[in-house]
Amino acid sequence: MADVLNGEPSPSTPMELFKSITAQGEIVRSLKAEKAPKDEIDSAVKQLLSLKINYKEVTGQEYSADSPPTNSRPDNSGEPGTTEGGEDFVDPWTVQTSSAKGIDYDKLIVRFGSSKIDKPLIDRIERVIGQKAHHFLRRGIFFSHRDMSNILDAYENKKPFYLYTGRGPSSEAMHVGHLIPFIFTKWLQDVFNVPLVIQMTDDEKYLWKELTLEQAYGYTIENAKDIIACGFDINKTFIFSDLEYMGSSPGFYKNVVKIQKHVTFNQVKGIFGFTDSDCIGKISFPAIQAAPSFSNSFPQIFKDRTDIQCLIPCAIDQDPYFRMTRDVAPRIGYPKPALLHSTFFPALQGAQTKMSASDPNSSIFLTDTAKQIKNKVNKHAFSGGKDTIEEHRHLGGNCDIDVSFMYLTFFLEDDDKLEQIRQDYTSGAMLTGELKKTLIEVLQPLIANHQARRSEVTEEIVKQFMTPRKLSYDFQ
C-alpha cells in the first residue's frame, strides 16, 4: 500500500517529489506572507522537511530548487530522448528539463535543425506587413522557424499561402497555454489576410487516451468553441474534426495514403519512438497530421491546386510531425510546409514541464473563476523570490525562473511596463506577492473576456465553422 501524506498518496518518483517540495515551499512562503497562525506554519514547514528527507533518500542528493532530478525518464517507455546528463527531453507528448529556467531553446534549434527567428527576420516581417511585429515575436515566444523567408517572398510577390494549426482535444476545458498558438495564428490571419485550416485531432486522442469516439468528438466541439472565441474570421477559417472530415473528403484521404506509402515503419519508430506493441493506429496517425500541409487536402477551398504553400504556427514539440512531412513533400510533388515554433507555456509549479490539462493545479483553465485564478497563482506559481522579505529586498528576485513573470511575458502587452516589473523584481523593490498580484490582475479580465465571447458561440456557429466550404480570400 502506498505511503500517505495528509490523506494523499505520497509522491514516489524523483520528479514527483521535486514538484511536491516546490509546491510545499510555495505554501510555506504564502503562509508566512499572510501571517498565518504559528501552528499552521509549523505544520507546513514540518511537511516540507519530511518531503526533503524523502527526496534525499530516493535520489541520494539534497533538494535544490535550481536542480531538478535528471535520473528520471518520462513515462513514455520506448520513446526516444531522455534527460540523462542534463539534456532536455522534448517530443509530441512529453516536455521535461533539468533547468528551473526551462528548456534551452538554442540547443533545441540545433538539435531539430531549424532556424532562429532573429532581429533581421522580425524587421523584414514588419516591413512586409507594415506594422509592429506581435509581442510573441519580439519577446522570443515564437523563436524558431523553417522557411519563413519563403512565405514572405510569396506574400510580396502576391502568391497565395495559407495557415494551418491544430488542437488535440483531450479534455473539455482548455487552459491558457492552449491559447498561445491560436492568439498568434489569429494575428497572422489578420495581418496577411489569408485562409486558415484548424485540425482537431480527435482520432489521435482516441488512440492515445482512454476515451470513447463519442467523448473525443464531444471534446472537439467544446474546444472549437474556445478556439472560435479567439476571434477568427468565419469567412476565412475552416475547423475540422479528423473523425468527421476524413470520411467525407477523398482529397484529404488520398494525401494521407500518399504520405503513408512514403514513410516506413522504421522511420516512424525513429521519429516518434513507437514500439512493436503500439497499435497500428498510432503508427499511421502521423500521416493524418501531415495531410493538412498540402492544399489539395481541401478541394472546397483550393480546388485541385497543389502549389499553395502552407505556414504552420505550433509549439516546437509538434515539429517531428512536420520534419517527416517536409521530407515526404518533394517526393509526392508538393511544396514543403513552412513553420513558426513557439516555446512552451510552463506549468505553475515551474518551467521544468509545460502546463498540462491533466493536472488541475498546474494549469489556469479557461473555465476558472476569478477566485480560482487568484488562489492558483498565489498557492502554486513557482517564485523566483527569496525566502524572507529582508533577503529579497537585499538580493532581489530571479525573473528567469519566476513563473508569474514568465506568464506576464505572454500576456502583458505593454513592453515598458513589463521591463519596469523586471527591474523592480530583480532589484528587490517588488516582492513576490506584488508580482503575483500583477499577474492575477492581467489574467482575471483576460479569462473573463474569453468566457464572455465563448458564451456567444452557439452550436450553429460551430457548425458553420466546421462545414467544408469555399473560404473568402484574395488569391484566385
- pLDDT confidence of residue 81: 39
Confidence of residue 99 (pLDDT cuts 50, 70, 90): confident
pLDDT digits (tens, 9 = 90+) for 165-203: 999 998 888 999 999 999 999 999 999 999 999 999 999
267 burial via Cβ count (<10 Å: 0-12, 13-18, 19+): middle
Residue 226, C-beta contacts closer than 8 angstroms, at least 6 positions apart = 174, 178, 179, 366, 450, 454
The residue that leads in pLDDT, 283 or 63, is 283
Confidence of residue 89 (pLDDT cuts 50, 70, 90): confident
What contacts 24+ positions apart, CB below 8 Å, involve 263-268?
Answer: 263/287, 263/324, 263/328, 267/324, 268/324
Question: Is pLDDT above 50 for 83?
Answer: no
DSSP helix/strand/coil, 85: helix
Burial class (CB in 10 A: 0-12, 13-18, 19+), 158: exposed
Residue 296 has pLDDT above 60, yes or no: yes
Looking at residue 132, what is its pLDDT? 96
Q: Which domains does the chain have, with CATH numbers?
A: 14-59 (1.10.287.10), 90-349 (3.40.50.620), 370-456 (1.10.240.10)
Mean pLDDT of 207-212: 93
**Residue 33 one-letter amino acid:** A
Please report the pLDDT score of residue 80 as a whole number: 41
pLDDT tens-digit readout, 133-163: 999 999 999 999 999 999 999 999 999 999 9
Helices (H), 276-355: 280-290, 299-302, 319-328
Within 8 A by CB and 6+ apart from 7, the residues are: none
**Predicted local distance difference test score (pLDDT) of residue 42:** 81
The three-class DSSP label of residue 446 is: helix
Contact 442, 408 (CB under 8 A): yes
Query: CB atoms < 10 A from the CB of 414, how many?
Result: 12
* pLDDT, average across residues 340-355: 82
pLDDT of residue 402: 94
Which stretch, 4-18, 24-38, 350-364, 461-475, has highest mean pLDDT?
Answer: 461-475
Q: Is the pLDDT of residue 335 over 50?
A: yes
Which DSSP string corresponds to 160-200? -EEEEEEE---SSS-BHHHHHHHHHHHHHHHHHT--EEEEE
Per-residue model confidence as pLDDT tens digits over 216-255: 999 999 999 999 999 999 999 999 999 999 999 999 999 9
Is the full-model pTM beyond 0.85?
A: no
The pLDDT of residue 153: 96
pLDDT of residue 421: 96
pLDDT of residue 44: 82
How big, in percent rounded to 5, are the helix, strand and coil portions of the chain?
Answer: 55, 10, 35
Residue 95 has pLDDT above 50, yes or no: yes
Q: Which candidate, 103, 142, 102, places its Cα nearest to that of 121?
A: 142
Residue 352 banded pLDDT, cuts 50, 70, 90: low
Question: What is the percent of the chain with per-residue pLDDT over 90, rounded to a whole number?
Answer: 65
The dihedral region occupied by 401, where left means phi > 0, alpha psi between -120 and 50, and beta the remainder, is alpha
Average pLDDT, the chain: 88
Which residue's C-alpha cell is 532589484? 427
The amino acid occupying position 17 is L
pLDDT at 297: 97
Residue 25: per-residue pLDDT: 78
Residue 463 has pLDDT above 90, yes or no: yes
Query: What one-letter code names the amino acid at 310?
Result: C
